[in-house]
């Protein structure tokens, strides 16, 4: 298993500096991670550094609350793609989901999905599992599946909790084989990474990508 290809090497802290982002990109190139995940301000910067690399540039939309209007999210995604983003991780309207305004949730996701697919850009939909009941998690996944997004993602990493094995399993059961699952938040060691993958995750959002690779090299039969 090529663990590196599972990892979105992530730095979304509000006080991230260009030197830290440069280091992130260089580490991603060295380990051939799937992507770097950064705030949209750094998308052009990362795009220049990674121009000749296989590493994708991922950015976040409606982050971290998911509470901005769908038109704002769609425009944010459009600008990010124009500036070099290859993948978009958007936060759903969590309040709308909890109020059972499912048509609104669907329109929210669809607005960003339209921009992404018109530009051959992958879309991951963050449902923020720590704020939802199991029924709400399943409903969010069902809406995402109906729209044929590329991924559903557990967490922003900025709320009350991150990914759990139980949530990854639940989400994978809800979306089936047509949509992938990204586990994000709190994945800091190789054992946790292995459990997330076994549960059905095909991407791992982690700021500890280099540490995970070091753990892999010291773990037999993996």
Residue 107 maps to which CATH number? 3.20.20.70
Residues of the chain with pLDDT under 70: 217-222
Is 26 catalytic? The answer is no
8: left (phi over 0), alpha (psi -120 to 50) or beta: beta
**96, part of any domain:** yes
Place of tokens 């109906």: 146
pLDDT at 117: 96
Is 89 catalytic? The answer is yes
Is 73 catalytic? The answer is no
Give the residue from 118, 53, 59 showing the smallest Cα distance to 89: 59
Q: How many domains does the chain have?
A: 1
**222, part of any domain:** no
Give the residue from 47, 199, 73, 200 showing the smallest Cα distance to 125: 73
Give the residue from 24, 18, 23 showing the smallest Cα distance to 36: 24
**108, part of any domain:** yes
Owning domain of residue 148: 3-217
pLDDT at 217: 57
How many Å is the Cα radius of gyration of the chain?
16
**13, part of any domain:** yes
pLDDT at 215: 87
The whole-model pTM stands at 0.95
First-last CA distance in the chain: 7
**Sequence-separated (6 or more) residues with CB below 8 Å from residue 10:** 36, 37, 38, 157, 184, 205, 206, 207, 209
Count of CB atoms situated within 10 Å of the CB of 217: 9
Beta partners for residue 91, in sequence order: 126
- 8 A C-beta contact, residue 154 and residue 162: yes
Q: Which of 89, 108, 150, 167 is catalytic?
A: 89
Q: Which of 8, 153, 167, 172 is catalytic?
A: 153
Q: Which two tokens stand for residue 72?
A: 């704002």
Give the residue from 177, 173, 210, 171 showing the smallest Cα distance to 193: 210
- 8 A C-beta contact, residue 102 and residue 139: yes
Q: Which residues of 115-144 are buried (b: 16+ CB within 10 A; e: fewer)?
A: bbeeeebbbbbbbbbbbbeeebbbbbbebb
């Amino acid at each position: 298993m090529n663990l590196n290809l599972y990892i979105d090497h992530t730095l979304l802290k509000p006080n991230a500096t260009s030197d830290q982002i440069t280091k992130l990109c260089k580490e991603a190139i060295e380990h051939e991670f799937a992507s770097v995940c950064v705030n949209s301000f750094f998308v052009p910067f990362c795009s220049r550094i990674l121009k000749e690399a296989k590493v994708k540039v991922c950015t976040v939309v409606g982050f971290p609350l998911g509470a901005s209007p769908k038109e704002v999210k769609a425009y944010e995604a459009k600008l990010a793609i124009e500036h070099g983003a290859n993948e978009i991780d958007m936060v759903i309207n969590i309040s709308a989901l909890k109020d059972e305004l499912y048509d609104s949730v669907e329109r929210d996701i669809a607005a960003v999905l339209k921009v992404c697919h018109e530009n051959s850009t992958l879309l991951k939909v963050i449902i923020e599992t720590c704020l939802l009941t199991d029924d709400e998690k399943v409903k969010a996944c069902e809406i995402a599946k109906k729209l044929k997004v590329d991924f559903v993602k557990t967490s922003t990493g900025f709320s009350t909790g991150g990914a759990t094995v139980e949530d990854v399993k639940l989400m994978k059961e809800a979306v089936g084989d047509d949509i992938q699952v990204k586990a994000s938040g709190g994945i800091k060691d190789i054992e946790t990474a292995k459990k997330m993958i076994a549960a059905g995750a095909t991407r791992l959002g982690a700021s500890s990508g280099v540490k995970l690779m070091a753990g892999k090299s010291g773990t037999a039969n993996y």
